[in-house]
Amino acid sequence: MTSTTAVQIPGYVAGTWDIDAAHSTVGFSVRHMMVSKVRGYFTRFSGELVTAEDPSRSAVTATIDMDSIDTRQEQRDAHIRSADFFDVGNHTEMTFRSTAVVADGEDWTVQGDLTIKGTTRPVTLALELNGFGPDAYGGYRAGFSARTSISRKAYGVDIDLPMDGGGVVVGDKIDVELEIEAVLRTA
């Protein structure tokens, strides 16, 4: 499998890829009690990547099941699912749709629209291409790492839980970290 891309990326293949959720992670961290960070994950998500002959014409769409949040503490997870935070009863999914893919030295940025709780805002993901290559099952895989930071309040997740002495229980800045493995679709 070879490609005639303008940018030389070893093993790069143009095609349509499905996110392999069993080998991928959608995670985040947020400041807690003004002194540490709590990490969490979403365990159910799906997505499609279309790598174009010209990588800058590639596209990504993804959907995350908001009910699948896991911060390793069920009481906290239930509170995050409530109307105080995600309001999962009314907003079951978070979605991302890319609008541009831009070379940034040896790495890339993916610009797109992120929708949480019915609010859509532009975000830019710093993207690292981890590689492309054959898998042990006769298929072809690609790996990507991406990061961004968002304001939870910008998406209507605006509860403030003040602490005695100042500060808040949950910070506004959310650091998003993605480790994505995708499988090339076959005809």
Whether the pLDDT of residue 5 is over 60: the answer is no
β pairing state of 119-134 and 140-151: antiparallel
Which of these ranges, 5-9, 46-50, 139-143, 178-182, has the smallest mean pLDDT?
Answer: 5-9
Whether the pLDDT of residue 33 is over 70: the answer is no
3-state secondary structure of 137: coil
Q: Which amino acid, one-letter code, is at 143?
A: G
Cβ proximity of 24 and 17 under 8 Å: no
Which of these ranges, 1-10, 52-61, 111-120, 147-156, has the smallest mean pLDDT?
Answer: 1-10
Which of these ranges, 63-77, 117-131, 149-163, has the smallest mean pLDDT?
Answer: 149-163
CA atoms within 13 A of residue 41's CA, in its CB half-sphere = 9
Residue written as tokens 């493995």? 181
Whether the pLDDT of residue 1 is over 50: the answer is no
Q: Which residue has the higher pLDDT, 103 or 6?
A: 103
pLDDT of residue 105: 84
Please work out, in degrees rounded to the nearest 5, the angle formed at the alpha carbon of residue 143 by the alpha carbons of 29 and 91: 45
- Whole-model pTM: value is 0.89
Whether the pLDDT of residue 7 is over 70: the answer is no
How would residue 149 be classed by pLDDT, with cut points 50, 70 and 90? Answer: very high
- Which domains, and CATH codes, for the chain? 15-184 (2.40.128.110)
- Tell me the C-alpha distance between 82 and 85, whole Å: 6
Average pLDDT, the chain: 89
Helix residue ranges, H only, 73-151: 74-81
